[in-house]
Chains A and B, each alone.
Chain A
Amino acid sequence: MRFLLETARLAVRSILRNVLRSALTVLGIVIGVAAVIGMVGIGQGTTAEVTGQVSDLGSDLLVVHPGSIMTGGQLAPLFDEADFLAIVDQINGIEAEPLVARSGSAVFGGESTATTIEGADNGAIDILGYDLAQGRVFAETEMRSGAPVCVIGSTVREELFGVGNPIGETIRVRQLACEVVGLLVSKGATLGQDDDNVVFLPVRTMQRRVAGSRDIDAILVTVNDPQRMGRVETEIEALMRERRGIGPLEEDDFDVADMAEVASMVSDITGILTGLLAALAAISLLVGGIGIMNIMLVSVTERTREIGIRLAVGATGGQVLLQFLVEAVFLSAIGGAVGILLGLGLAWLVTGLLSVTFIVDPVIIAVAFLFAAFVGVLFGYFPARRAARLDPIEALRHQ
């Protein structure tokens, strides 16, 4: 035990004696561990975020929108009110809400802000997970008549009113002057997009006075019985294919997205990415380990005479082996610790930029650290054994 303590002290000293070299030696380990910790942290944060978002929206939600992202060439035609009504009429056990979205600016007094303008009725605002902070939602008559009223997100409020009360004020949304009747509770951001930078208008108001058409960008469908999700999805698909005149061999030019499906897809993708990056990081650790082995071999050669002296005064091969092994393990453990800090910093920074939760997983940290230390044992063993097997007479003669 006492000898082990001396060995540890010796290892620290030897590492400190050549700080720059030690630092360069462990760089590979640092990068490898930082990559693992950083990537896993970002991946976990993103997955948690997406999962949280989906549970916000509810797993009973289907989003029907024209033209999947993959549709090359020309854009698929948008839905219109007839499509929406067809869904409402012909599919059982659902509730549907139309959604019309545009970007534009909102202006109040001298203040102006670029925002997302959404045509959505009370039901859709609720489905999207917004709660009212102040004021009221749209009145039934306002939605039916397309009245110039709006409910604003907290970012828009800050931009236009600062801390002032927006309720009852009239703002200009694109060309439309409308009265702010409600303010929403802040939802925060998802994946870098600020969900509070939004102005909601009744769908009819949006169509008539802002978009200037009866087009619908998306239809939110809530399925009453979650067991029927798959069935409803198929029914909607069949209905829309018929309405849009898509032949049996043609692909859909619209998409029915199941939010749970989207979530599992996103987490699958982040999982694959995390795995890939972890594999790259493992290679970096391997290279780092070889770096340590290389420097330890150099160190053994440089210190051949020292090893000879130690052997002459009575060190056993095992004690010499331990000395060099402990040094290698210390080096890689220091690299691991620095890598963990760096990785956490990286994850913190990136999750901050993406407005995603920053998650610290102690298991991953422990595994990364132990793995780094293990790399030290693995790659330190060979040079240490070489030191331990030196012939004391030869070693003492070494210049």
Chain B
Amino acid sequence: MSAAPVIELRGITKVFGRAAATVHALKGVDLSIASGEFVSIMGPSGSGKSTLMNITGLLDQPTAGHYLFGGAEVGDLSRDERALLRRHFLGFVFQGYNLLPRTSALENVELPLIYQGRPAAERHEAAMAALTRVGLAGRESHRPSELSGGQQQRVAIARAIVARPDVLLADEPTGNLDTARSREIMDLLQELNETEGLTIVMVTHDPKMAACSRRIVTVVDGLISDDATVGEAA
């Protein structure tokens, strides 16, 4: 854990709405995540953990504060600049899978590479490798509607890792799955973290899932209330 932080948030605040209707979602968050970490973000609904996730994932901009990604200030980047960073350095996994409907698993996985402008042959190869990595070799031509929930989430994970990102952001990745499927997804994430050193930041409200990570950050009312390393015994 001596690696330089890939994500460093300093005094991040986020205010929604205007005038009397303002909501302070984040009230000054400091968080540093080193390369190769597997961090869970927990907290009750409305605590601001999703907002924190969106800002960390460069989907949203903080109202104030500094966000250093790989050492560079990214808190004030434009929409398109953030899109380029997401394209090259971040992968996303969502609770609802968010695969393109009526599109094969292979093409779903290829999507980030299309925006990177990679040639078709290279895309196919990388997407096949990613699908194999998540245990879906042979399912590449299936459409999302022909896959189970667990399989769809695997496709989503393959899509998230296909471009070899620095950080994988997972928002309630097991929220729609039963216990057994959830377990499998967590095993896969753990394996990616351990064998490939992929940095993972995961939002969850399920302590059992959080326990699979190596560090749990708890957000309450827009502030980090607890930041603990998961013990070997936990």
Q: A residues near B, CB below 8 A? A: 2-3, 6, 17, 305-306, 308-319, 392-393, 396
Considering only CB atoms, which chain A residue lies closest to B159 in the complex?
A: A313
CA distance A309 to B109 in the complex (A): 12
Contacts of B80 in A (CB 8 A): 316-318
Given contacts A309-B100, A312-B98, contact A317 B79 (CB under 8 A): yes
CA distance A230 to B64 in the complex (A): 88
Contact B87 A313 (CB under 8 A): yes
Residue from B59, B94, B114 whose CB has the most chain A CB atoms within 10 Å:
B114
Contacts of B67 in A (CB 8 A): none
Chain B 75-117 near chain A by CB (<8 Å), digits 1 or 0: 0000110011011101010100011111000000001101111
Interface size class of B (residues with CB under 8 A): 20 to 34
Contact B117 A314 (CB under 8 A): no
Which listed residue (B59, B101, B119) contacts A312, Cβ 8 A?
B59
CA distance A2 to B80 in the complex (A): 19
Contact B112 A313 (CB under 8 A): yes
Which listed residue (B59, B87, B101) contacts A393, Cβ 8 A?
B59
B131 to chain A, nearest CB (A): 16
Contact A2 B119 (CB under 8 A): yes
Considering only CB atoms, which chain A residue lies closest to B57 in the complex?
A: A312
Contact B115 A17 (CB under 8 A): no
Contacts of A317 in B (CB 8 A): 79-80, 83
Which B residues, 112 to 154, have Cβ-Cβ distances below 8 Å to chain A?
112, 114-117, 119
Considering only CB atoms, which chain A residue lies closest to B99 in the complex?
A: A309
Which B residues, 152 to 166, have Cβ-Cβ distances below 8 Å to chain A?
159
A313 to chain B, nearest CB (A): 4
Contact A311 B102 (CB under 8 A): no
Contact B59 A315 (CB under 8 A): no
Contact A392 B111 (CB under 8 A): no
Contact A6 B114 (CB under 8 A): yes
Question: B30 an interface residue at 8 Å Cβ cutoff?
Answer: no
Given contacts A3-B115, A6-B114, A306-B100, contact A392 B84 (CB under 8 A): no
Contacts of A3 in B (CB 8 A): 114-115, 117
